[in-house]
Amino acid sequence: MKRLLALSGGGVRGIVEVAFLEAVERAYRERFGPDTRLCDVFNLVGGTSTGALIATAIALGHPLERVADFYLNRARTFFSRRRWWAKGQAAVFDGAALEVELRRDVGDLTLGSDALQTYLAIVLKRIDTGQPWIVNNIPTAPYFENPADGSFLGNRHYSLAPLLRASAAAPTYFDQMTLDIAEGEAQGVFVDGGLSPYNDPSLSLLKMARLRAFGLNWPAGLDQMFVLSIGTGRFREPIPAKAAARMSPIRTAYLSLRGMLNDADLHSLSMMEWLGESRRPAHINSEVGTLEHDSLMGGPAFAFLRLDLPLEMPELHRAGIDMDVRTLRSIRRIDDPDAIAPLYDITRAYIDATLDLDQLLV
């Protein structure tokens, strides 16, 4: 059995993924033994933005208590230095402070380091060329080694801290990040990987596992492959038609982009459930419902599970979680460190009330 773990982006809401991962680890420890770590279970982990930070910690074998501490305590060092006076003209938060915190965890390790105990993929967006980059440490993959002609820097030589800083460089929140691409060439300019179609990197990891170009060629089948995808909270916020018609161009552009990111996540979810067999089928939309009895290939290519926290009042109420509208709005934000601890508690309560991971995990 090959297991893939995909972690979505979402700023401080990465604490949602930490809570889910703690429950996942407990379930696997019941199955495989008390010392089991997630890097012992998953063969390929990947993430976007905040998900990339968590994926890297897992690949390095860091305990989840340390990952939780990053959000619950250390995130304030870079998410509390607000510069609202600069909004629209400069980044609101301090990217240098973020990189300092990242280096506390990964030091000067590179993507080719033996300290990585599983395959790792990090999603970035190269803004100067308009291309998503999914850098990885698969030795048989393209771009892992330096070429003889020196035309690019092999993935194995990229330092983890700048890669993670680039993957989390959400526009207006953090400055874009420059990385060396080849000796003597102009640097590449990168922003948050969530601005690509791969904020949920599930499909990307599936390609790495199966496409011939990457050299893994892992076999497909329900008893051969399991993909676990975890989100940072999902919701849609409708806008009254009259208000939408009066919005400024900047506001319209912002909400259109946010909607496009939601659309990309939904597309990834629907494709994964269509190609595989979901352990917990999701409601895709009113047009198709769930894909529980629908399969693109006539049979599932893998087992699949998507875990996410609904940030909608009705679903939270059904799980026995009560809150007011102001609290709900605060925990939806991706940049408020004050929301991290409440969101952590809410996610754990949601897991206890709605999920039996012993039955859902493969």
From the list 192, 200, 308, 336, the catalytic residue is 192
Amino acid found at 320:
G
- Fill in the DSSP letter of residue 219: P
49 is catalytic: yes
Strand partners, 126: 131, 190
Dihedral sign for Cα atoms in the order 340, 345, 348, 354: negative
94 is catalytic: no
Helix spans in the chain (H): 14-32, 38-41, 50-59, 64-69, 76-79, 95-106, 160-167, 202-210, 241-245, 249-275, 313-318, 325-332, 340-354, 357-360
CA–CA separation, 179 and 132 (whole Å): 14
CA–CA separation, 275 and 202 (whole Å): 12
**Which tokens is 170 given?**
């959400």
From the list 49, 204, 229, 268, the catalytic residue is 49
CA–CA separation, 155 and 145 (whole Å): 7
CA–CA separation, 154 and 135 (whole Å): 10
Nearest CA to 361 out of 29, 7, 47, 9 is that of 29
> Which residues make Cβ contacts (< 8 Å) with residue 1, sequence separation at least 6?
223, 224, 225, 226, 362
> Which residues make Cβ contacts (< 8 Å) with residue 126, sequence separation at least 6?
132, 133, 188, 189, 190
Nearest CA to 56 out of 157, 126, 143, 135 is that of 135
Instruction: List residues with catalytic annotation.
Output: 49, 192
